[in-house]
């Protein structure tokens, strides 16, 4: 007997006009490398493999997550399953031995160096979707995309994506080489891309992979766990904004209970209802979290319920700290 997820696997979403067909939910692996506190590598591998076995095809990582740890983890998990997945890799963030963040490097030579190391750590011959993590203001986007296009021509990359880029940058990049998707934060609590970015994506035939659909766990009531959890520095989790946001979180939780859903399923279902042509990327760290996320596929949200939820959720605070917000091309007006 087919499971609900098996049935859902028969419905795929195409990434852009030239990209691959993927399962309607992707798995984001950043949280498996310490960004949200302690993790367990064995459980992380089980989670990735369970996701693949249940139909998930898009696995998202970054070469700077855990300074290479995440790519090696994903490489272990997809060994023997490579033909069943599309691996999306963000690159370009510079980090020190102490874990500090030191900016971006999107020069063509750096792009090719980053790709070489990613191929090695992942244990693959080709990266399915390769994307600059942020815009490097010192390097024209045409140079960065041109370097990736050369990697496509050489057979090391299949498709090119973007991450957190603004309208003008998206247009310029797409003129150099077809872009299959933009990765950007989007949730019932983070709706900024609706105004200008999503219309341009539809115009150009570019898809989106949507991260932060749970607002980094805020919408499910999760809170920072220990000093290694970078959410402890995010405005939405701290200070007056953090306290104020608990009212919206409580309202969302009540709304979910009334409909027989978990808060996570409700948050995911809202994104699926509002942006059915795009793909939410869920950062599950455990099999239990993965099970919960997949459950959203069998609990679609009506337009009326989606609108009702929007009226209940009013999240205060920027999604990143001031310094990081300053470097987000997607936030430029």
E strand or H helix that includes residue 319: none
Told to judge if 156 belongs to the known catalytic residues of this protein, a careful annotator would answer: no
Q: In terms of pTM, does the model score above 0.75?
A: yes
Residue 119, classed as helix, strand or coil, is helix
Annotated catalytic residue, options 65, 156, 211, 320? 65
Would you give per-residue pLDDT tens digits along the chain (333 residues)? 344 444 544 589 999 999 999 999 999 999 999 776 678 999 999 999 999 999 999 999 999 998 899 999 999 999 999 999 999 999 999 988 988 878 899 999 999 999 999 999 999 999 999 999 999 999 999 999 999 999 999 999 999 999 999 999 999 999 999 999 999 999 998 899 999 999 999 999 999 999 999 887 788 877 777 666 767 667 777 777 777 878 888 898 999 999 999 999 999 999 999 999 999 999 999 999 999 999 999 999 999 999 999 988 887 667 765 666 666 777 775
Query: Where does residue 155 rank: exposed (0-12), middle (13-18), buried (19+ CB within 10 A)?
Result: exposed
E strand or H helix that includes residue 143: helix 141-154
Q: Tens digit of pLDDT for each residue in 156-193? A: 999 999 999 999 999 999 999 999 999 999 999 889 99
Interatomic CA distance for residues 145 and 154, integer angstroms: 14
Q: Tens digit of pLDDT for each residue in 237-282? A: 777 777 787 888 889 899 999 999 999 999 999 999 999 999 999 9
């Amino acid at each position: 007997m087919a499971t609900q997820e098996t049935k859902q696997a028969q419905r795929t979403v195409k990434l852009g006009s030239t990209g691959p067909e993927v399962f309607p939910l992707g798995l984001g692996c950043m949280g498996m490398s310490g960004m949200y506190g302690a993790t367990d590598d064995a459980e992380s591998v089980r989670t990735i493999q369970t996701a693949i076995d249940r139909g998930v095809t898009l696995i998202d990582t970054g070469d700077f997550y855990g300074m290479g740890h995440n790519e090696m983890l994903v490489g272990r998990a997809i060994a023997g399953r490579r033909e069943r997945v599309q691996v999306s890799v963000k690159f370009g963030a510079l980090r020190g031995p102490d874990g500090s963040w030191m900016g971006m490097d999107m020069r063509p030579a750096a792009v090719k160096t980053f790709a070489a190391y990613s191929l090695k750590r992942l244990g693959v011959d080709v990266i399915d979707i390769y994307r600059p993590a942020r815009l490097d203001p010192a390097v024209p986007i045409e140079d960065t995309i041109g370097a990736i296009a050369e990697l496509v021509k050489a057979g090391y990359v299949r498709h090119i994506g973007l991450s957190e880029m603004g309208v003008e940058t998206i247009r310029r990049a797409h003129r150099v080489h077809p872009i299959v998707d933009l990765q950007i934060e989007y949730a019932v609590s983070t709706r900024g891309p609706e105004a200008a970015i999503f219309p341009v994506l539809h115009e150009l035939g570019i898809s989106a992979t949507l991260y932060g659909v749970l607002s980094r766990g805020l919408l499910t009531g999760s809170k920072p766990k220990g000093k290694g959890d970078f959410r402890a520095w995010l405005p939405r989790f701290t200070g007056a904004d953090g306290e104020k946001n608990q009212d919206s979180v409580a309202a969302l939780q009540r709304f979910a209970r009334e409909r027989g859903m978990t808060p996570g399923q409700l948050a995911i279902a809202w994104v699926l209802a509002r942006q059915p042509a795009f793909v939410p990327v869920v950062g599950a760290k455990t099999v239990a979290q993965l099970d919960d996320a997949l459950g959203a596929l069998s609990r679609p949200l009506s337009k009326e319920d989606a609108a009702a939820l929007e009226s209940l959720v009013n999240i205060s605070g920027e999604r990143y700290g001031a310094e990081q917000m300053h470097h987000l091309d997607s936030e430029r007006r």
